[in-house]
Structure 1
Amino acid sequence: MKKLRIHCIQHVPYEGPGAVLDWAEVNGAAVSYSHLYKGHALPDLQTLDMLLVMGGPMGIYDVKDFPWLPDEKIFIRQCIDHGKIVLGICLGAQLIADVLGARVFPNAQKEIGWFPIQLDDTMQQILELNEASAVVFHWHGDTFDLPLGAIHLAKSEACQNQAFLFAEKVMGLQFHLETTPDSLRLMINNGLDELKTAGEFVDSETQMFNGVKYVHGNNLILFRVLDYLSRL
């Protein structure tokens, strides 16, 4: 069986693939990286089977401060057009939505912390779960319209479009199933200013750390997502 080649685009040092690496190790997948914040180049399309686009505090429109964004968007579009598996997380999902022609814009309120999502029937089928909801980790201020032709997969009270599937192989997730105790700590430490933002859907630092009890369940959902995509 061919070894799956996953290429991870990382935008900041503290939002890496997390539990994706655990799945990759168990399943014999190879993981390579483009650390865009270090000026790394994007790879040749022929060197990857799956593109993993991580999160970050920037917006998809912050081209002046992050001049690599236009090239990244072109690369994501090329991966989609060439039938690669593409998984975007948070900012990654927003970038996918953008290259598919959907509007990306500030959500009515920030969603930061551990909050439930409601899973559509299609998502339950993908995950092979009977549960209609799950508490997952969020850290986003922006959201997106559902791309034309995409299938809606999940929503939350604060955000209508939490996940989508496009052309079977392309998935965007606003939430962070890849979170580990270590990555949770890093994100909190690097985002303390945002936790001072008042809002119905913004957890305190204590609430964020208490949510570590959900990490294992989130990782199991992630593994089912990866199982599904890797079979395509």
Structure 2
Amino acid sequence: MRVHFIVHEAFEAPGAYARWALRRQHTVTSSHLYDGDRLPPTADDIDLLVVMGGPQSPATTTAECPHFDAVAEIALIAACAAASKAVVGVCLGAQLLGEALGAPCLRSPEPEVGSFPVTLTEAGREHPLFDGFEKRLDSGHWHHDMPGLTTDATVLAASEGCPRQIVTYGRFLYGFQCHMEFDEGLVQRLIESAEGELAALADHGFVQPVEELRRNDHRAMNERLETFLDRLAAEYSAA
């Protein structure tokens, strides 16, 4: 499987997504936009596009962030969807996926930073790619916004702070507002990048203090993510 990562910032690395792709010996390519890499010109050489998070929003302009071209990313995501390629959007990536399909992102009811449970909806519990998952599982979070919903989108998981944590937009199209890819090193990089933000959010109910962020154990959610990705890859290959 040819997996391409779009990475907006060094501190928003693919984490468990990349480890899964390498362990399964998929062909891995990346666009590290913060380092000057270009986006793929077409969807032709991609089977699975993974669009990572970042501090930007779909409304961020190139004047505000020269290495982030939301219009170009949305066009690539739309091309992948139109070609029946698989797309997984994470946080900002989930919002861009919704935008590419005609659903503008929205502000989340609550900001979430840390490890909090997400609950599978009835549709999520019945979905074959989440078969056997716990109804409630801890997941990483670091966001203010959430993806929009198309008329045929289905919410597969929600949290107390955000009603759209995992969304499917089609057979191979998934948005993860939550960060199931987090690991200890990635969280530390996020902490270092966001000291002021964390201080400003300290009084919010779904924002953990730095010491707690560092103590969170992400291994179980990483394993669930790998199971989901294995099933997505198998379904895509079978098609």
Q: Normalising by structure 2, report the TM-score.
A: 0.90
Query: In the alignment, is the contact (CA less than 8 A) between 1:100 and 1:148 conserved in 2?
Result: no
Q: How do 1:9-24 and structure 2 match up within 5 A? A: 9-24=6-21
Tell me the SS of whatever aligns to 1:159. Answer: coil
1:112 counterpart letter in structure 2 = V
**CA-atom RMSD in angstroms:** 1.4
In structure 2, how many angstroms separate the alpha carbons of the residues matched to 1:226 and 1:129? Answer: 14
For structure 1, which segment, 91-100 or 121-130, has the greater mean C-alpha deviation from structure 2 after superposition?
A: 121-130
Tell me the SS of whatever aligns to 1:86. Answer: strand
Verify: 1:144 aligned to 2:147, yes or no: yes
1:150 counterpart letter in structure 2 = A
In structure 1, how many angstroms separate the alpha carbons of the residues matched to 2:21 and 2:148? Answer: 31
Percent of pairs with identical residues: 32
Q: Deviations 1:81-116 (Å, cap 9, x if unpaired)?
A: 111100010100011011111131222321111111
The equivalent position to 2:193 in structure 1, one of 190, 194, 209, is 190
- 2:3 alignment counterpart: 6
- 2:225 alignment counterpart: 222
Verify: 1:80 aligned to 2:71, yes or no: no
Deviation at 1:120, TM superposition (A): 2.0
Tell me the SS of whatever aligns to 1:48. Answer: coil
- 1:52 alignment counterpart: 50
Q: How do 1:57-76 and structure 2 match up within 5 A? A: 57-63=55-61, 64-67=63-66, 68-76=69-77
Q: How do 1:30-41 and structure 2 match up within 5 A? A: 30-41=27-38
Query: In the alignment, is the contact (CA less than 8 A) between 2:147 and 2:177 conserved in 1?
Result: no
Distance 1:61 1:19, change over 3 A: same
Q: How many residues align?
A: 227
Verify: 1:90 aligned to 2:88, yes or no: no
For structure 1, which segment, 220-229 or 85-94, has the greater mean C-alpha deviation from structure 2 after superposition?
A: 220-229
Structure 2 stretches lacking a partner, 5+ long: none
Deviation at 1:121, TM superposition (A): 3.6
Verify: 1:177 aligned to 2:180, yes or no: yes
Structure 1 stretches lacking a partner, 5+ long: none
Q: How do 1:109-148 and structure 2 match up within 5 A? A: 109-124=110-125, 125-148=128-151
2:167 counterpart letter in structure 1 = F
1:204 counterpart letter in structure 2 = P
The equivalent position to 2:207 in structure 1, one of 179, 185, 202, is 202
Deviation at 1:66, TM superposition (A): 2.9
Deviation at 1:130, TM superposition (A): 4.6
In structure 1, how many angstroms separate the alpha carbons of the residues matched to 2:48 and 2:133? Answer: 27
Q: Deviations 1:133-186 (Å, cap 9, x if unpaired)?
A: 011100000113322211210001111111111221000000111112111111
Query: In the alignment, is the contact (CA less than 8 A) between 2:153 and 2:167 conserved in 1?
Result: yes
For structure 1, which segment, 198-207 or 127-136, has the greater mean C-alpha deviation from structure 2 after superposition?
A: 127-136
Deviation at 1:20, TM superposition (A): 1.6
